[in-house]
Structure 1
Amino acid sequence: MASGQSYYEFYRGSSIGTALTDSLDELITQGDIPPQLAMRVLQQFDKSLTECLQKNVKHKTTVKGHLATYRLCDDVWTFVVKDPQFKMEGIGSGGEVVTAPKVKIVACKSGDAPEGKKSGGRSGDYA
């Protein structure tokens, strides 16, 4: 991804992103850092987490469940799957299965995906 590129901010809603945001808010409130520095830290968090996931996630996961809703808006797919079963290949013998009552999956167009072409299910077009 290019250096001037913006990154999606939805990882900020994760538990580590929330902890980082809370810590930065506390530092700003105490006067230890300016708000501009906190924004730069959050932008670096967005970039670093995205790049880390792209480079280090090597295992394939299969999801089976009941698709409750799906939506495509501004090149962002949102899926809500009820009773999903995630089978992770390459972990242990035979793959580990993880279940949950409901999961929301958000897939955004990757910066290196071809513009105007359908992905055809290729890996990497959506992150």
Structure 2
Amino acid sequence: MAYQLYRNTTLGNILQESLDELMQSQKTTPQLALQVLLNFDKAIISALAQRVRNRLNFRSSLNTYRFYDNVWTFVLNDVEFREVAELIKADKVKIVACDGKNTGSNTTE
């Protein structure tokens, strides 16, 4: 389930559209398309774990939070993001966080 978060990115959407076109023209099977998506998910998670090293601090007031089906959702107000000397402010931010340790399962919900 956590894998599917990356499919909503621009790259993930384009990949899904390309696979849909290939299936409609019968140049690939649905099973192969699903396998390609699962490999995409694993590659994105691996790349983020190995290549992203930046740290970001933020300060805000918590509006609401929720924990459901191993997914945390936080809504923050008056947020200040700080990276070294750069400061970015936002009125409202929504953070959705999944448990990355359960990424070994092949759920396709």
> What TM-score results when the alignment is normalised by the length of structure 1?
0.67
The answer to whether the aligner puts 1:109 opposite 2:104 as a matched pair is: no
Counterpart of 2:87 in structure 1 is 97
CA distance 1:97–1:18, shift in 2 (3 Å):
farther
The answer to whether the aligner puts 1:39 opposite 2:40 as a matched pair is: no
Gap regions ≥5 residues in structure 1 = 1-5, 113-127
CA distance 1:26–1:103, shift in 2 (3 Å):
farther
The answer to whether the aligner puts 1:63 opposite 2:53 as a matched pair is: no
Give how far 1:108 is off. Answer: 1.5
Alpha carbons 2:2, 2:98 under 8 Å: kept: no
CA distance 1:40–1:62, shift in 2 (3 Å):
same
Gap regions ≥5 residues in structure 2 = 103-109
Give how far 1:44 is off. Answer: 0.6
Structure with bigger RCO (C-alpha 8 Å, 6+ apart): 2
Distance of 2:88 and 2:14 partners within structure 1: 25
Aligned residue among 76, 80, 88 for 2:83: 88
CA distance 1:67–1:78, shift in 2 (3 Å):
same
Aligned residue among 20, 25, 35 for 2:20: 25
- Structure with greater strand percent: 2
- Structure with greater helix percent: 2
Give how far 1:50 is off. Answer: 0.8
Counterpart of 2:107 in structure 1 is none
- Percent identical pairs in the alignment equals 41
Distance of 1:29 and 1:8 partners within structure 2: 24
Give how far 1:83 is off. Answer: 4.4
CA distance 1:39–1:100, shift in 2 (3 Å):
farther
Distance of 1:73 and 1:60 partners within structure 2: 27
Counterpart of 1:119 in structure 2 is none
Supply the AA of the counterpart residue of 1:35: P
